């Protein structure tokens, strides 16, 4: 843990977080409760593609190594069409052309794009994963029981625009976490769906892995690696493999609300008989008095 993360974690222990509605709630959720809900969400993740994906890991490399140790793609079979036709994937993929990749450009959200965001959230909210997430957050007094208000809360966290460059509302949590952005290099881009899509187009170059981990679902649950996106090198990148869009939205939202700016304990398949525990790091971006998702990614 860096000093920065450590200090921030200490601060958040006594922190009060504010709802998008302006209400204030204190946070006190045990690690055990987070391990329990995360493994329950994994068990409910019927849209996950854990067994449909085959990774071609090739060679191990190191963070900072720019040499391509993996001439072939990471995803051996390219885009999994049968998975991408499922509603939450299909709706999420329709959002991928809605953003300007540079943080220096203000995003203009058209009515069409707003409708696409709403359709994505409608699909996500139809899943058992989000229903269980809602129940958990209501019990923890971090969400309202009214579904529409909960949806609005998550919509603000994920799609609310904020600034990473002065005067430019060029970022959202969704864009950062799922698509990735250009600032000084690439930041974000933690979605395997995005990775395989861009890799299939030839825009992402997989260079080899530094670490992998099993979460008891599919062969590989997490991967850590350097990579290149549109020729720009990122020394350290982590992805969950096979998780559905709704599972990623659920886990990252829970961690944003319960362990903001710190590490959040997560458990994969609880009945797998192996250690499937990992962590999610979130960062909060504050803009005009509101809290948005600055970043969220898995870490070993």
Ligand X SMILES: *[C@@H]1O[C@H](CO)[C@@H](O)[C@H](O)[C@H]1NC(C)=O
Residues in contact with ligand X by CB under 6 A are 28, 30, 43, 102, 104, 165, 182-184, 216-217, 269, 271-273
Q: What values do phi and psi take at 80, rounded to 5?
A: -80, 90
* Closer residue to ligand X in complex, CB, 26/82: 26
Check 176, 183, 201, 267 and give the catalytic one. Answer: 176
Least Å from the CB of residue 260 to ligand X: 17
* Closer residue to ligand X in complex, CB, 157/264: 264
Q: From 264, 282, 197, 272, select the one nearest 42 (Cα to Cα).
A: 272
Least Å from the CB of residue 284 to ligand X: 21
Check 234, 236, 267, 286 and give the catalytic one. Answer: 234
Q: Any catalytic annotation for residue 236?
A: no
* Closer residue to ligand X in complex, CB, 8/15: 15
d(CA 116, CA 122): 10
Radius of gyration for the chain, computed over Cα atoms and rounded to the nearest angstrom: 18
Least Å from the CB of residue 42 to ligand X: 7
Q: Any catalytic annotation for residue 3?
A: no
| CA 35 vs CA 106, 148, 269: distances in Å | 38, 27, 11
Least Å from the CB of residue 148 to ligand X: 29
Check 190, 201, 228, 286 and give the catalytic one. Answer: 190
Q: Are strands 204-206 and 185-187 parallel, antiparallel or unpaired?
A: unpaired
* Closer residue to ligand X in complex, CB, 50/75: 50
- Per-residue b or e along 233-266, where b marks 16 or more CB atoms closer than 10 Å to that residue's CB: ebbebbbbbbbbbbbbbbbbbbbbbbbbbbbbbb
Active-site positions read: 176, 190, 234
């Amino acid at each position: 843990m860096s000093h920065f993360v450590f200090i921030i974690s200490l601060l958040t222990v006594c922190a009060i977080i504010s709802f998008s509605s302006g209400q204030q709630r204190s946070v006190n959720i045990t690690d055990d409760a987070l391990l329990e809900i995360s493994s329950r969400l994994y068990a409910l993740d019927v849209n996950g593609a854990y067994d449909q994906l085959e990774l071609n890991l090739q060679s191990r490399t190191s963070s900072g190594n720019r040499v391509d140790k993996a001439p072939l793609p990471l995803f051996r079979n390219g885009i999994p069409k049968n998975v991408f036709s499922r509603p939450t994937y299909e709706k999420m993929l329709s959002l991928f052309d809605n953003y300007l990749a540079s943080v220096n450009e203000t995003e203009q959200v058209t009515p069409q794009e707003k409708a696409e965001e709403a359709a994505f959230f409608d699909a996500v909210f139809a899943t058992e994963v989000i229903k269980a997430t809602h129940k958990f957050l209501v019990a923890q007094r971090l969400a309202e029981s009214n579904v529409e208000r909960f949806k609005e809360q998550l919509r603000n966290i994920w799609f609310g625009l904020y600034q990473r460059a002065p005067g430019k509302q060029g970022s959202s949590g969704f864009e950062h976490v799922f698509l990735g952005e250009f600032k000084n290099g690439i930041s974000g881009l933690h979605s395997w769906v995005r990775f395989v899509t861009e890799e299939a187009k030839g825009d992402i170059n997989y260079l080899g892995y530094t670490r992998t981990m099993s979460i008891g679902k599919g062969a590989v649950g997490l991967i850590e690696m350097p990579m290149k996106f549109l020729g720009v090198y990122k020394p350290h990148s982590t992805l969950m493999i096979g998780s559905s869009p709704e599972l990623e939205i659920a886990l990252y939202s829970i961690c944003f609300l319960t362990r903001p700016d710190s590490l959040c304990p997560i458990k994969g398949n609880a009945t797998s008989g192996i250690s499937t525990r990992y962590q999610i790091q979130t960062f909060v971006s504050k803009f005009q008095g509101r809290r948005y998702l600055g970043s969220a990614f898995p870490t070993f």
